[in-house]
Amino acid sequence: MKRLLPRAALCLLAASCLAQNPISPPGVYIADPAARVWPDGRLYVYGSLDESLDHYCSHRHHLLSTSDLVTWTLHEDIFSSRGGDDQVEYNDELLFAPDCQYADGTYFLYYCQPGLQAEGVAGSPNPDGPFRDGKRIELYGRNQIDPAVFIDDDGQAYYLWGQFTCKMARLKPNMTEIDRGSIRDSILTEEEHHFHEGVSMIKRNGLYYLVYAHMGRADMPTCIGYAMSRNPMGPYTYGGVIIDNDHCDPGNWNNHGSIVRFDGQWYVFYHRATHGSNVMRKACMEPIAFNPDGTIDEVEMTSRGAGGPLDAFSGIDAARACLLSGHVRITLDTPGNEILSGIEHRDRAAFKYLDFGEGADSVYVRVRPGGGAGRMQFVADRAWGVAAGEITVPALPEAPAGWVTLGTAVSGLEGVRALWLRFYGDGGELFEVDSFTFK
């Protein structure tokens, strides 16, 4: 397996950041976020862990948790299928997207893997694990991935899973076995609901919602879609798209997420691709709202996430870009720091949204010159707008090697605005961008 990081780079006890996207700290790639709020009042985000450019996921799970959406704690190695703390004795396969549910004092981690032994469950007395003694869940020939578990108001638990069609069954009271006689297929279908995989379930105001990877745009499952019903097992009426992560990265392919209410506000959790690859992904979140009829309006990807606009005068990490066009991509430069790299002529990157207050006069950018001379323009609101300022970055060897800070005057930037970076150059890969700040 081609590892992106040395193991030591992931030994983080906590990650503190503003309420911005991505919520995963630099160098940690948590995807398929299943968000849960447990009795302790904290928000927990379970997910798969991407560690290779060769394949999805890894042989272990990490976990993010927070009490305020500002400080996030990274809980490492809560469950493993290989190595010194192997909790899946019957195979050494990768661990794909998980879910977690709480019942009778036990937290149940529902995991999935490729192959015929597709899904299993492990338990812990704690929401952050470690989860122990993984056991296979018998699916009676319907072996697919992406489990989710929902517990209704009457205490009945439901198990959901599947690709292309969504399967559902009642769970027995032990929370580890499904009732074979209750299995139903095609709760959701690709034809009727644009269902691809990655289902999650909630209940609100008497309506049941299935949230899932949606295949209805560009022949890719880039959306988080939803469907609604008055009954847990349907039939479900297609609702629409909650969020689309298309153009988050040049190598984007899929999406997978959940919705949850935390501290009075509803949020959608989803992931974005990174590294120019469809197998490296990072968890993000956006606030959402329900209409009086229970429908959900589509929201856009942002850099702000659950917080307010980014402070343009406090420094913006380039890795906060929420839209990328062309060849530019977010990559890991050093452990704990991600940058914009692979920049070529006519590439673009967007940040939504920045607060310029009463106005900015100048901008300073930390760049690393490369093999081609280039220009970086700063544009408000629309990618095709008039540039508010421009910085020229000379090529090596005319420019100093390594990171340098360059500045220029800007005009017309005030209030809360989307910011686009436009790149132009002589051809090939140009410079790299680490961060920028306005004065």
For 80-115, write each residue's pLDDT tens digit.
Answer: 999 999 999 999 999 999 999 999 999 999 999 998
State whether 320 and 283 are in the same domain: no
CB 432 within 8 A of CB 350: no
- Within a domain: 296: no
State whether 328 and 242 are in the same domain: no
Residue in 189, 210, 213 with CA at minimum distance from that of residue 201: 210
State whether 37 and 165 are in the same domain: yes
Q: pLDDT tens for residues 272-297?
A: 999 999 999 999 999 999 999 999 99
> Which residues span the domain enclosing 380?
310-438
d(CA 125, CA 131) in angstroms, rounded, equals: 8
Before 22, cis peptide (omega within 30)?
yes
Supply the DSSP string of 91-153, one letter for each residue. Answer: ----B---EEEEETTEEEEEEE-SSSS-EEEEEESSTT---EEEEEPP-TT---S--EEEE-T
- Within a domain: 302: no
- Within a domain: 204: yes
How does strand 310-311 pair with strand 348-355?
A: parallel
| pTM assigned to the model | 0.95
Instruction: Say whether pLDDT at 2 is over 80.
Output: no
The number of distinct structural domains making up the chain is: 2
CB 186 within 8 A of CB 207: no
Domain end among 254, 288, 322: 288
Q: pLDDT tens for residues 122-172?
A: 999 999 999 999 999 999 999 999 999 999 999 999 999 999 999 999 999
Mean pLDDT over residues 301-319, rounded?
A: 96
State whether 68 and 148 are in the same domain: yes
State whether 275 and 316 are in the same domain: no
Instruction: Say whether pLDDT at 231 is over 50.
Output: yes
State whether 272 and 324 are in the same domain: no
d(CA 308, CA 327) in angstroms, rounded, equals: 29
Instruction: Say whether pLDDT at 385 is over 50.
Output: yes
Q: In this predicted structure, which of 18-32, 130-144, 244-258, 302-316 has the lowest mean pLDDT?
A: 18-32
- Quick one: pLDDT band at residue 399, thresholds 50, 70, 90? confident
d(CA 322, CA 302) in angstroms, rounded, equals: 6
Q: At 10, is the secondary structure helix, strand, or coil?
A: helix
CATH number of the domain enclosing 329: 2.60.120.260
110 forms bridges with which residues in the sheet?
99, 121
Residue in 203, 208, 97, 87 with CA at minimum distance from that of residue 147: 97
Mean pLDDT over residues 303-331, rounded?
A: 97
Q: What single letter denotes the amino acid at residue 166?
A: C
Residue in 114, 160, 162 with CA at minimum distance from that of residue 142: 162
Residue 87 gets which letter from DSSP? Answer: -
CB 282 within 8 A of CB 30: yes
CATH number of the domain enclosing 116: 2.115.10.20
d(CA 103, CA 151) in angstroms, rounded, equals: 9
d(CA 185, CA 142) in angstroms, rounded, equals: 9
- Within a domain: 301: no
Q: At 181, is the secondary structure helix, strand, or coil?
A: helix
Backbone torsions φ then ψ of 318, nearest 5 degrees: -60, -30
- Within a domain: 270: yes
Cα-to-chain-centroid distance, residue 100: 17
pLDDT confidence of residue 23: 97
State whether 410 and 284 are in the same domain: no
- Within a domain: 157: yes
Residue in 130, 9, 4, 110 with CA at minimum distance from that of residue 55: 4
- Within a domain: 297: no
State whether 30 and 164 are in the same domain: yes
Burial class (CB in 10 A: 0-12, 13-18, 19+), 259: buried
State whether 258 and 317 are in the same domain: no
Residue in 273, 303, 248, 267 with CA at minimum distance from that of residue 418: 303
CB 52 within 8 A of CB 336: no
- Within a domain: 304: no
State whether 358 and 281 are in the same domain: no
State whether 266 and 346 are in the same domain: no
Domain end among 238, 255, 288: 288
pLDDT confidence of residue 18: 58
- Mean pLDDT computed over every residue of the chain: 94
d(CA 226, CA 240) in angstroms, rounded, equals: 6
Task: Report which secondary-structure segment, H or E, holds 43.
Answer: strand 43-50
State whether 332 and 407 are in the same domain: yes
SS (H, E, C) 261-316: EECCEEEEEEEEEECCEEEEEEEEEEEECECCCCCECCCCCCCCCCCCCEECCCCE
